[in-house]
Amino acid sequence: GENVEQHPSTLSVQEGDSAVIKCTYSDSASNYFPWYKQELGKRPQLIIDIRSNVGEKKDQRIAVTLNKTAKHFSLHITETQPEDSAVYFCAAFSGNTPLVFGKGTRLSVIA
Amino acid sequence: SAVISQKPSRDICQRGTSLTIQCQVDSQVTMMFWYRQQPGQSLTLIATANQGSEATYESGFVIDKFPISRPNLTFSTLTVSNMSPEDSSIYLCSVEIASIGGYTFGSGTRLTVV
C-alpha cells in the first residue's frame, strides 16, 4: 500500500521568511496530493492540492510542486505570518485506497 | 462544498463503556471515512463506510472494536466499544467533495477514557 514520508517534523521560521515542507510517496499510481493545515484543537483544513497532470499550483502565498518521476511533492509558503503557525499534513491518493497522510510538520512562525 | 456535522464534539467516558459518534453530511456521498488522530500524531484511517455493505477496515482495526453503520448516503456512525484509556483520541469522519475532488473533515470528536 501507499506510504507517505514527510519532512521535517518541526520547522521554525522568522516572520516574512519562506517555509518548505517535503513529502515523498511510494505508490506510482497515486494521482492526487492534498495539503491540510490543522490549528490547535481544530479539524484539518484543505489548503491546496495538486493532481498528477500538473507540476505546480499556486494560491497567493502558498504553492505546491510535484515531481512524479521522483515521487515527491512539496509545500511552499512565502512571506510567512504568525497565523501560518500550525501542523501541516501532506497526503496521497491513488483512487484505489483512501487518503494516506504523512506524519505532519509543526510550523512555528516567530514574530 | 459539503458540510459535515459530527457529534458529540467531546466526551469523557468510563473504561469498559462504548461511545457512538455520528456523522451527518448535507449531500449524498458514496464513501465516508473514519480516522483516528492520537495526541500529537497524524491521521490514521480506521475504516471506509460504504452504503449497503459492510465497512472495510484497515489493518489493526476490527469490527468488534469499531462497529460502523451506514444506513444511507448522508449518515454514518462509528462506535468505540469496550473503551480503554488507549482509545483516547480525536475521531474524525471525512468525505470527498465531488465538486473539487478533495476531502473534507468533520469537526472531530475528542474522546477521553478514564
What is the rounded distance in angstroms from the CA atom of residue A71 to the CA atom of residue A68?
A: 5
Q: How many CB pairs under 8 A join A and B?
A: 39
Query: Which residues of A lie inside 8 Å of B (Cβ-Cβ)?
Result: 32, 34, 42-46, 49, 51, 89, 93, 98-104
User: What pLDDT, on the 0 to 100 scale, is given for residue A97?
Assistant: 75
Nearest CB to A34 within list B48, B92, B102 = B102
B57: Cα separation from own chain's centroid? 12
Closest residue of chain A to B47, computed from CA coordinates: A98
- Hey, of A43, A53, A87, A103, which one would you mutate to test binding to chain B, going by the most B CBs within 10 A of its CB? A43
Q: Is the pLDDT of residue A36 over 60?
A: yes
What pLDDT was estimated at residue B101? 67
pLDDT at B30: 87
What dihedral do alpha carbons A55, A53, A63, B39 form, nearest 10°? -120
**A46 with B104: Cβ contact below 8 A:** yes
Residue with cell 483520541: B89
For position B97, what pLDDT does the model report? 76
Helix (H) or strand (E) segment spanning residue B93:
strand B89-97
Residue of chain A minimizing CA distance to B48: A98
Residue A103 has pLDDT above 90, yes or no: yes
Rounded to the nearest angstrom, the minimum Cα separation between A45 and chain B is: 7
- Do B103 and A101 count as a contact with CB atoms less than 8 A apart? no
What's the pLDDT score for residue B99?
Answer: 67
* Nearest CA-CA distance, residue B56 and chain A, Å: 11
- Which segments in chain B show pLDDT lower than 50? none
Give one DSSP letter per residue of B46-89, joined into a string: EEEEETTSPPEEPTT--TTTS-EEEEETTEEEEEE-S--GGG-E
